[in-house]
Structures are given as C-alpha cells and as structure tokens.
Amino acid sequence: MELTTEQLEDGVEKIALAGRMDSAGTQEIDLRFTGLTATRPALIVVDMSRVSFLASIGIRTLVSNAKALGRRGGRMVLAGPQPLVEEVLKLAGIDSFIPVYADVGSACAGLKTAAAERSE
Amino acid sequence: MSEDAPNGQEPSELVVTNDLSELTRVSAWVHAWSQQHGMTDRTVERLDLCSTEAVTNIIMHGYADSAAHEIALRLDCRHDSLALEIQDDGGAFDPRQVNDPQPAATLEDAQVGGWGVQMIRRFSDGWHYGRSGDRNHLTIVFRLSHPCHGGQPRHHVVE
C-alpha cells in the first residue's frame, strides 16, 4: 500500500491511502499511520478513494488509530470510500463512531464543525 | 466431473503456508479462477473478502507453535452454487460459534478487532464446519446469480 500526507487549510491533515488494505498492505503502512496519529492532537482526513479492498485487519488499523488520536484530543474521519469498502465499513458499524464522508471537501467541513463545537 | 482443468487453466486447489504474505497469493488465485469460471464482479468481491478473512484467522489464531503449516483451499462450482473449502491443521475452531462484535456508538466503546468472522457471515450465503482428526474443514457457500461454466470457451449458440 501507499500512504501520502498533505497539509490542507485550517490545520487539517490529509492522509491518502492507496491499494489493498489486507494484511500485507496494512502491514506496509501501519507504522507510518500510527506515527501520524499517536503523537499529537491532529485533525485528520483519511482519503480512502484509492483503497480498493478493506479487510478486517485494515479496519483494526483504522479504529486503533482513530482511538489513539481521540485520546490525544484529535479527530479522524474517512472520505470517499469505494462502494465495496463503504459496504464493509457500514457492515462493521464503523461509520457510527468514525464519520464517513463522500469526499475530502465535505470531510474537512465536518471536521472543522466538530472542532468548533468542541472548543465552544 | 473434476473442476481441475489440465489445459493451462487456473487449478481449483491452492496450498499456502501460515504466513500473512500468502494472502496475496490467495487473492490472485481467487481472481484468476473466478475470471476463468465466469464469476460476476460481485461474486469475486465476496469470495476475495471471505477467503482473506478465513485464511487470516487461521494464520493469526490457529497455531500454538511457530512451525510452518499448510492451509489447503479448494473452489468447487456446481450449477448455481460455489463452495470455498478450507482445511487446516490448527486448533479446533468453529467460526460459526463466534458472535458478531457488539455495535458501538462511540469511538471509546468500539472494539479494535474481531470483525473477520462477521465479514464471512455477511458476505457469504452459508457455511459448514467439521473437524476430522487434527484438521478443521470449513466450507463457505455462495449462491450464484447464474450458473458457472467450467472455464471452457463459451459457445454463443448451443443447440
């Protein structure tokens, strides 16, 4: 798998994942992903649009990183999953505790709204 | 009639070892076999997910030792039903007895793992489990929207 990062406006960071998120693929990005979520209270959009396959081992990585980030006062949302990946996310009920947006733009808007609500 | 095809076709059986890197080979085999047998994209997706989850479970949780073990997979297509058979010599494990994870409303309450068996349950149409000797036999069944063909070139007109 590939993992690339990009700093977006308003302090939101995009992590774009690409490839098959099975055990082999997840292993390739796990350390870097964890490094990005375990150290600071970031607002992170994970761009899933180029993830073609999501297995339970990939869900494990998404959930544990979202938890780590949440514990540090940050927040993680998912954006643009392909139909099969979205089906897997919904089936496992992940979308009830990690918000899933149609694209990066709406994910950023959602993140900022949530951050503003929290700081009020 | 055997589904095994001698004419350079993807074999209906695959043996992998208990190493997570083997999942790549499982997926490649599933895709190649499915293409030759006229499976729909949807069936390939379901088969890919279920085989990945089942083999991952065996590799991660099936063995008490660190020795090399073989996991045997077989695809068997009969009319409108496709069976994925998986045999391993790990500890006895009937995945049908595993409950789905409790749905969580908040991130704090969410469990990190345990989704694999749920995936198989939801993306397949049934499963059977048996234990004989020191081997687990798991069969995952998929109903097909149209009958599979044996990998032979399709004839447009059959009279």
A interface residues, B as partner, C-beta within 8 Å: 20, 22-24, 27, 53, 55-57, 59-60, 63-64, 66-67, 70, 84, 88, 91-94, 96-98
What band does B158 get if pLDDT is binned at 50, 70 and 90?
Answer: very low
Q: What is the ipTM of this complex?
A: 0.89
Global pTM reads 0.89
SS3 annotation, chain A: CEEEEEECHHHEEEEEEEEEECHHHHHHHHHHHHHHHCCCCCEEEEEEEEEEEECHHHHHHHHHHHHHHHHCCCEEEEECCCHHHHHHHHHCCHHHCCCEECCHHHHHHHHHHHHHHHHC
pLDDT at position A120, please?
66
| pLDDT tens digit at each of 120 positions of chain A | 999 999 998 889 999 999 999 988 999 999 999 999 988 889 999 999 999 999 999 999 999 999 999 999 999 999 999 999 999 999 999 999 999 999 999 999 999 888 778 776
pLDDT at position B1, please?
44
Q: pLDDT tens digits, residue range B57-106?
A: 999 999 999 999 999 999 999 889 999 999 999 999 999 999 988 888 89
Residues of chain A with Cβ-Cβ distance to B48 below 8 Å are 53
- Whether the predicted pLDDT of B121 surpasses 70: yes
Mean model confidence pLDDT for chain B: 89
When scoring B20, B107, B111 by the number of chain A Cβ atoms within 10 A, the one with the most, hence best to mutate, is B107
pLDDT at position B8, please?
57
Quick one: average pLDDT of B1-12?
A: 58
